Structure 1
Amino acid sequence: MPHLIVYASEPDLTGREAEVIAALTDAVVAVYGEWAREIAVVQLVGLPPGRWGIGGRAAAAPAPRVTFGIKDAAFSRPDADEIVARLVAGVTDALVAVFGEQVRAGTTVELVGTPAGRSGIGGEVVLT
């Protein structure tokens, strides 16, 4: 299942939570298809001012950072480069649509693959 954890400034997130969740879910669906809508997970982590550092000092206006968990097998597909590019662009565009163009240059999207058998749901190991 696609699992996105978004780290952003708490003041930037406040009042925009539903919009961010919807935009990121739509970005996932644009790549995977409508079937992914019901299983896409978006978690928002708001960091208070002063708790995000860049270059050794507190960042005044940090751009969002996204950790995007997907099945490791996605990286072995013949179209893996295209999928990665579409996910990174789609997630970035979704965040820009909510927060504004000023976040584009600094937005980070990290795709993290989970090998089969290395995660679990409901106390059971997922083998696929």
Structure 2
Amino acid sequence: MPHLTVHVLESDLAGRETELIEGLTEAIVAVYGEWAREIAVVRLVGVPANRWGIGGKPAVAPAPSVTFGIREAAFERPDAGDLVARLVAGVTEAVVAVFGERVRPGVTVELVGTPTGRTGVGGVVAA
């Protein structure tokens, strides 16, 4: 199940939550197919401006950062390179559609693979 956690300045996020959740979900569906819609999880973390630093000082206008949790097996598929490229491009486009072109150069999308058996849901290890 795809899990996206987005860190973005609280002041940039306010009032755009629904649009961002919808856009990121559509980016997932565009790559995986309609079946993924119901299991896509998006978490938005609004960060106060004075709590985001770059280069040892508070950031002025940092671009959103997305961590995309995905099953590690996805990286072993024959089409893994294409899959990764499509996910990074789609997620970036969804973020830019909400926050504007000014964020594009700094949008970070990190795909993090979770090995089978290393996730639990409802107190049970997921297969």
Is the TM value for this pair above 0.5?
yes
Q: Deviations over 1:30-54 (max 9, x none)?
A: 0000000000000000001111000
State the match for 1:89 in structure 2.
Answer: 89
Distance of 1:43 and 1:122 partners within structure 2: 18
Q: Percent identity?
A: 71
Query: What do the CA deviations read for 1:52-91 (whole angstroms, capped 9, x no partner)?
Result: 0001110010100000000000000000000000000000
TM-score by length of 2: 0.99
The structure 1 segments of at least 4 consecutive aligned residues displaced by more than 2 Å after TM superposition are none
Q: What is aligned with 2:79?
A: 79
State the 1:21 CA deviation: 0.2
Q: Shift of the alpha carbon at 1:112?
A: 0.3
CA distance in 1, matches of 2:69, 2:95: 17
Instruction: Return the TM-score normalized by structure 1.
Output: 0.98
- Counterpart CA distance in 1 for 2:12 and 2:110 is 20
Shift in Å, 1:111: 0.2
Structure 1 stretches lacking a partner, 5+ long: none
Distance 1:37 1:126 in 2: 19
The count of corresponding residues between Structure 1 and Structure 2 is 127
Q: Does 1:113 align with 2:108?
A: no
Which structure 2 residue ranges, 5 or more long, are not aligned? none
CA RMSD of aligned residues (A): 0.4
